[in-house]
Amino acid sequence: MAMPKPLTFDHLNLFPGLVHGVFSRAEGYSNGSFQGLNVGLSTGDDPDIVNRNRALMLSSIGLTRVLFLNQVHGTDIAVIKSEKDVAGAVWKGQGAALSKIFNADAAVTNLKGLGLVIQVADCQAVVLYDPQKKVIANVHSGWRGSVANIIGRCIDTMVTRFGCNPERIRAGISPSLGPCCAQFINYKQEIPKSLWHYKEKDRPYFDFRQISRDQLGAQGVLDEHIETMGLCTRCRTDLFYSFRANKTTGRFAAVIALTI
């Protein structure tokens, strides 16, 4: 099996000691509807195969310790400031059950060597990095996360718990459901009116990438420090898993870690 090669953000590649990447579904051991590098244990795929995919992914970027969240489309943020905080919750490449798992949709840490993983199949993974404070975060933001502004909440956590300055924070937005495919027929019930200006004039299609950029900007993140990959997961099922395109599908991952 060939090693997977993650997509990376150009402006984050400038910082030594920072490892990051968004993994497509290419390579991997899964078959059928999950074909490729499925890292989601709750998808219906064989857990042993998913764990092999996870190990392959981490090996490709030199990591041995990562935090997987139980993502629930909420607003809770796992704050990891010591090894005690993450005891029992670190995935180390084995299939054994963890004694602890965070029900959260974002994680923030300053620990070295601990990867933060977000799993997606249309939602956005938003990686964040403050190069001065050496603090990283990874955020799961679907449409519910956009409505609740989990990105803004995570920036606030970086500021209040780690002393970060938003103007220093770098952000990367993963491939996700693009404005070409983000149709919300029931948007009047699901999306608050304050976000309707992100909708196309004559069609119920929303630009959630721009929502995320604006939410980052509203917290003080500079526009030149935000990079969007711009690939639509529903359009590119050859590269990514998409729940909109295929209800039974896997999850691809975005990972970020401090190494020095």
Predicted confidence at residue 98, as pLDDT, reads: 86
Give the per-residue pLDDT at 2. 84
| CB-count burial class (<10 Å; 0-12, 13-18, 19+) for 35 | middle
Decide: 250 and 231 in contact? Cβ < 8 Å: no
pLDDT number for residue 46: 97
State whether residue 152 is helix, strand or coil. Answer: helix
57 phi/psi in degrees, rounded to 5: -60, -50
The reported pLDDT for the residue numbered 75 is 97
Quote the pLDDT of residue 153.
Answer: 98
Q: How far apart (Å, rounded) are the C-alpha atoms in residues 3 and 23?
A: 11
Give me 71's structure tokens.
């993502």
CATH node for 18-258: 3.60.140.10
What is the DSSP pairing of strand 77-80 with strand 170-173? unpaired
What is the structure's pLDDT at 95? 63
Residue type (1 letter), 4: P
Q: What is the pTM of this model?
A: 0.97
As a whole number of angstroms, the distance between CA 25 and CA 14 comes to: 26
Where helices occur in 7-142 by DSSP H, the ranges are 47-60
**What is the distance between the alpha carbons of residues 103 and 107, in angstroms, rounded to a whole number?**
10
Residue tagged 């721009």 (tokens): 210
pLDDT value of position 260: 81
The confidence score (pLDDT) of residue 50 equals 96
Q: What pLDDT does 136 receive? A: 98
Per-residue pLDDT of the chain (260 residues; tens, 9 = 90+): 789 999 999 999 999 999 999 999 999 999 999 999 999 999 999 999 999 999 999 999 999 999 999 999 999 999 999 999 999 999 987 666 788 999 999 999 999 999 999 999 999 999 999 999 999 999 999 999 999 999 999 999 999 999 999 999 999 999 999 999 999 999 999 999 999 999 999 999 999 999 999 999 999 999 999 999 999 999 999 999 999 999 999 999 999 999 98
Q: How is 113-126 classified by DSSP, letter by letter?
A: T-EEEEEESSSEEE
pLDDT score for 99: 87
Q: Where are the domains of the chain?
A: 18-258
Phi, psi of 105 (to 5 degrees): -120, 15
